Structure 1
Amino acid sequence: MKRPAVAALGGGHGLFASLEALRLVTDQITAIVTVADDGGSSGRLREEYDILPPGDLRMALAALCDNSEWGIAWRDALQHRFPGEGPMGGHALGNLIIAGLWDSLGDPIKGLDMVGRLLSARGRVLPMSMQPLRIDATVRGADPEKPEEVQEVSGQVAVAQTPGQVLNLRLFPDPPQPCKEAVDAVLDADWVILGPGSWFTSVMPHLLVPDLLDALVITKAKRMLALNVQMDTGETAGFSASDHLEVLRAHAPALHLDAVLADPGVIGDDERALHALETSAAALGAEVVYKHVADPDTAGVHDTLRLATAYRDVMERSSRGPRHQ
């Protein structure tokens, strides 16, 4: 099978895991990264210099580094975080390098491409929008003492940490300015992969950029959704696997999928949960493909080789002909 062109959408550790796996499958990878982070080093640089938050972009670049002594050395350098409580404390070196290149070149895409060349990256990293974005959410029970009260929560960190139930999401500015190169990558791809990752702050935001969503709807690429290997955590507390799909369908009803990749562990022996997941997937036009992709030694983490094998198997299965409904 020829190596497919893949556009991988997400952010943070979920996208990092996906890209590490994809680089074992193909060298035609475009990572399209959320740019709404407002915490930590990224949040500080974003506030001080009015730039895209560089952290998730840095992690995506590190995941795609060449597996050579040079590439690994630069990956480790980019990921190095300064210790201490001073002005440099907590900053990742890669964030500072990216921010410096953006300031010098005046072009975020050129800056990211330059870091990619430094790493001999096996793919390209792009922001989903050319503007730093803010995530706003309507949340029920954000105040634990008022579990039925509905209120607005603003900011990626606040949404990720809310103890309440996220009802819907919005991005500001609205509409966000799309990254043309990211839109083109989706249209030109053989496969588009959404997830895994934090559902409301890493996966769903891509569907709120109208031009990017339009590209996801009309692209001739196959579309795969990679579910997390652990449900009912963090910002999706109380969610089942099928709930994740229902949230996606509610925010992007025109979007259809071809495959939903799920670790059997997210369902276990629960026949009702199995039926609910497959029903939700069918409503999106997809079949559920069950593959063991979790790291057996670390809860909630994907195993790189297992995930790579699963991606390859799903892609090869599709290449053999149309899927039978």
Structure 2
Amino acid sequence: MHRWQAPQRRDDRGDGAPSARARLRRHRDASGPGARVTPELAAGLTGQPILPDAVVALGGGHGLSASLAALRRVVDDLTAVVTVADNGGSSGRLREEFGVLPPGDLRMALAALCGDDEWGQTWAKVLQHRFAGEGEMKGHSLGNLLIVALWEQLGEHVDGLDWVGRLLDARGRVLPMTLAGVDLCAEVIGHDPTQRDARSTVRGQVQVATTPGRITSVSLDPATAPACPEAVAAVLAADWIVLGPGSWYSSVIPHLLVPELRQALVETDAKILVVLNLGEQKGETDGYAPEDHVAALLEHAPGLRIHTVLADVASVPDPVALEGALGTHGAQLVLAEVAVAGSTTQHDPVRLADAYARIFGGVESFAPWR
């Protein structure tokens, strides 16, 4: 099997020969303005896949963390856009007390972008350290406190996150999806187990993620929350955008509920890659088939143009049904081993990195999965 090799990152390889990117640039210069280089042509010119210049990953929690830990191994220009509607735990307490964005998912994204060297892994552990004991500090994460401290010192959310990223030597940038305080709301059937057919509204990300009922739709309050301008700019400038994996209704879909961000995702020229979860998530997607996850995305953003859907080969019981459903939307299916060996809940960052590299490079196609 072809294995991905790291692309050249510099114009001069050090041996007098031009790098992959230098050869591509020379081809573009010779071909004139507007010339496009296909992945196949790129491979012919350089002898290896050419990876995208800019990738934006959207989500939250552990799913986004796994994706970022993979992407930082593949691309240089990486931006994480993170859900900020959490109302539980340390994040909820800090949000309520200081009137700031909930820092927890932002912290996890920053930790995932730390390098594999001693510096990166030490800081990742420090950032994720959670205090024990029985006092007021119990349950607080040191990273949450550091982020809030910088927000108070600088008076600006984005600048504070950039400073944390510089301290960690993070392999990418972390941005909130909105700078406004928002609450996640869901329309649920059977939230009260004694009234299985009754519809009700559930408010709060924690409450949405743990509802015993069936979620039919989600929304943000306020519905007109402005997007983080830097996040919109990153989406519009990206080559690829990655949605998922993660809690579908409380981490992934919320990005589609911010009007300016949804518009940018619909209008961007970037290719959109959707990464499916390894299975159903209790309280959010009970009974969902893989194609139901994609349908939920499109229900909340009908104009979204999905290029590729990546799923773990063991998590798709009926590939024919999934491929057929995706085909109606012009999307291709990629099946690969991306789960941690023996796990049905965790994505493996190294396996994900390999899959991302091959999808982005477009040289070894997964599309004919049969």
TM (norm. structure 1) is 0.94
Match of 2:292 in 1: 243
- Which of 263, 269, 281 is equivalent to 1:220? 269
**Structure-2 change in CA distance of 1:63 and 1:204 (3 Å):** same
Report what 1:204 is aligned to. Answer: 253
Count of aligned positions: 318
* 1:125 to partner: Cα distance: 0.2
Contact between 1:231 and 1:266, CA under 8 Å: does it hold in 2? no
Equivalence for 1:148: 197
Which residue of 1 is the match for residue 235 of structure 2? 186
Confirm or deny that 1:42 pairs with 2:91: yes
| 8 Å Cα contact 1:229-1:293 kept in structure 2 | no
Which residue matches 2:327?
Answer: 282
Partner of 2:343: 298
Deviation at 1:274, TM superposition (A): 2.5
Secondary structure at the aligned position of 1:152 is classed as strand
Residue number among 135, 139, 143 corresponding to 2:184 in the alignment:
135
**How many angstroms does 1:46 deviate by?**
0.4
| Match of residue 216, structure 2, among 167, 189, 199 | 167
Aligned residue number for residue 362 of structure 2? 317
| CA distance in structure 2 between the aligned counterparts of 1:260 and 1:171, rounded to whole angstroms | 26
Shift of 1:318: 7.0
Aligned-partner residue type, residue 35 of structure 1: V
Q: Normalized against structure 2, the TM-score is what?
A: 0.83
Alignment of 1:16-165 (within 5 A): 16-165=65-214
Q: CA deviation at 1:27?
A: 1.8
Deviation of 1:304 (Å)? 1.2
Structure 1 residue ranges without an equivalent (≥5) = none
Deviates more, 1:12-21 or 1:280-289: 280-289
Equivalent residues of 1:3, 1:25 under 8 A apart: no
- Whole-angstrom distance in 2 between the partners of 1:171 and 1:67: 36
Please give the alpha-carbon distance, in whole angstroms, between the structure 2 residues aligned to 1:81 and 1:112: 19
Runs of 4 or more, structure 1, over 4 Å off, are none
Give the superposition deviation at 1:2.
4.2
- Cα distance in structure 2, aligned partners of 1:46 and 1:232: 26
Native 8 Å contact 1:249 1:284 kept in 2: no
Within 5 Å, which residues of 2 pair with 1:259-278? 259-268=308-317, 273-278=318-323
1:112, CA displacement in angstroms?
Answer: 0.2
Paired residue type of 1:289: V
Equivalent-residue separation in structure 2 for 1:2 and 1:288 (angstroms): 20
Structure 1 residue 13 and structure 2 residue 62: aligned? yes
5+ residue gaps, structure 2: 1-49
Shift in Å, 1:232 = 5.0
